[in-house]
Structure 1
Amino acid sequence: MKFYVSCDMEGIAGVTLREQLVRGEPLYEEARRLLTLETNAVTDALLDAGATRIIVKDAHGNGFNFIPELLHPGADYVMGATRVENRFPGLDKTFDGALLIGYHAMGGTPLAVRDHTMTSQGWQSLRLNGRPIGEIGLDGLLFGLQGVPVLFVSGDDKTCAEAANELPGVVAYETKTALGRHAALMKAPQRARSELQAAVRRAIENGNRPKPLRLDGPYELTIRFLHTEQADARRYDGITAERTDGLTAVYKSDHLTGLLAAAF
């Protein structure tokens, strides 16, 4: 069996502050270690469940957050920045499933730890074909283009609720109960890693696996920016890209990857 694992950082057990998420901040190194160890726990669980090939993507920020020396030798790793049209290098139709580890809720979600969509500095929110969407839904669709279902999601309770809404039948695991953007009722990381492994095994052994996420085109993506200058910096042709007010841009395409490449 082959599995693709995408790892973000905000939903990792023990992480709740901005200072843990940004390179150069005093708490970043500790959070890197928590991320790496939680990722290793997932790899262990997949191998125990019979995985023969695992690719793990560092999907946080610049894509270089794992501590390489501590990474589990049983997987291969995508590290460094990749463009959205190639967000998951090495992915193809032969993979049995995907897992989203340490994810966060979409921008604008109340009382969620570090809620945002793709960037916490540039955008308030995204809508795809009129419906709010976050990174769980977007990544689910990108995996779905290859016919690969998302089997498992972990993060805070708001993340897990979003996953259940976006991905019917997915197995979700709560690493923390969010109390606000920078507050949570935390599980100890060692406990979370143990429980996470059991949850991953349940997801792999689930006889009623989710189907790949699909959405037929044409597509319309609406970006709500934080500041007008961010909208000012974009180019608009009035057909495939249009500014509808001071803070809002709308992109249109018949192809999902082309749409995301133009918008992001």
Structure 2
Amino acid sequence: MKFYISADMEGIGGVVLREQLVRGESLYEEARHLLTAEVNTVVEALAVEGAEQIIVKDAHGSGFNLMPELLHPAAQYVMGATRVENRFPGLDGGFTGAILLGYHAMGGTMRAVRDHTMTSEGWQSLKLNGRDIGEIGLDARLFGLHGVPVLLVTGDDSTCAEALRELEGVPVVSTKTAAGRHSALLKAPARVKEEMRLAVAAAVRDRGGRRPVVPDGPYELEIRFLHTDQADRRRYDGSTAWRKDGLTAVYRSDDFLRLLSEAFG
């Protein structure tokens, strides 16, 4: 069995503040420890269940947040920034399933810790074929292009609710109950890790019930920016890319990877 873990940071147990998420800020090193500990917990749980190969993608910001010297030896780790068309290096159709660890809710979600979609600095929201979508939905489709189903999603309660809407019946682990963008009722990290061990074991046993999300084309992606100058800087050809209004750019393609590459730059 082969498993792919995509690890973001906002949904990790104990993470609430911006200062925990940005390199150089006062609480960033603490959050790196929390992230690395959760990743190690999931890697160990997969190894116990008989995983023959595990790849972990550091999917937050720079892609270099995990602490290499503390990482569990049973996995390989993708670190550093990658382009969207190669978002998950090493992924192929031979993987049994994927785990979305430490994810966050899409931009604009009420009572969600650090809600955003792809970037919190430039974009308000995304729509795919007229439907709101966040990183859970996008990444599930990228895994689905290889026939790989998502087996488990972890993050705050709003993230878990989004996962259940996007991936009906997917197992989830809530790491905290969000009270706002920078506040939450936290579970102790030790409790989060124990719940994850149990959830991973159950997800592996029940993997046969999960199906990959296969995106059906053609595709139309809308990006709603924070400011009009962000939309001004985009190039439009009037056919595959055009400006809908002051804040919204629209991209169209029959190829999902090409769509994301054009839209995300």
User: TM > 0.5 between the two?
Assistant: yes
* Structure-2 separation of matches of 1:185 and 1:88: 32
**Displaced runs of 4 or more, over 6 A:** none
Matched with 1:19 is 19
> Unaligned regions of 5+ residues in structure 1, if any?
none
Give RMSD over aligned pairs.
Answer: 0.7
Matches within 5 A, 1:122-141: 122-141=122-141
Residue aligning to 2:62:
62
1:117-146 Cα distance to aligned partner (Å, 9 max, x none): 000001000000000000000000000000
- The percent identity for this pair of structures is 70
Equivalent residue, structure 2, for 1:87: 87
Q: Tell me the TM-score normalized by structure 2.
A: 0.99
Contact residue 156 and residue 177 of structure 2 kept, 8 A: yes
Q: 1:66 to 1:238 in 2, by over 3 A?
A: same
CA distance, structure 2, for counterparts of residue 155 and residue 55 of structure 1 = 20
Distance in 2, matches of 1:261 and 1:191, equals: 39
Cα shift at 1:105: 0.4
How far 1:210 moved relative to its partner? 1.5
Check the 8 A contact 1:151/1:209 in 2, yes or no: no
Structure 1 residue 207: Cα displacement: 5.6
User: What is the CA-CA distance between 1:63 and the residue it aligns to?
Assistant: 0.3
Give the match for residue 180 of structure 2: 180
Partner of 2:209: 209
Q: Per the alignment, in what secondary structure is the counterpart of residue 250 of structure 2?
A: strand
1:43-192 equivalences in 2 (<5 Å)? 43-192=43-192
Partner Cα separation in structure 2 for residue 52 and residue 152 of structure 1: 18
Opposite residue 103 of structure 2, the aligned amino acid is: Y
- Distance in 2 (alpha carbons) for counterparts of 1:30 and 1:96: 32
Bigger shift: residues 21-30 or 206-215: 206-215
CA contact 2:151–2:207 (8 Å) conserved in 1: no
Instruction: Report if the CA contact (8 A) 1:168-1:210 is conserved.
Output: no
Deviation at residue 208 of structure 1 after TM alignment: 4.8
2:236 is equivalent to residue 236 of structure 1: yes
Number of residue equivalences: 264
Q: CA deviation at 1:209?
A: 2.3
Q: Distance in 1 between matches of 2:150 and 2:234?
A: 32
- Paired with 1:250 and 1:109, the residues of 2 have a C-alpha distance of 22
Task: Please tell me whether the aligned partners of residues 41 and 193 of structure 1 are also in contact (alpha carbons under 8 angstroms).
Answer: yes
Distance 1:38 1:207, change over 3 A: closer
Q: TM-score, normalised by structure 1?
A: 0.99
CA distance in 2, matches of 1:154, 1:134: 14
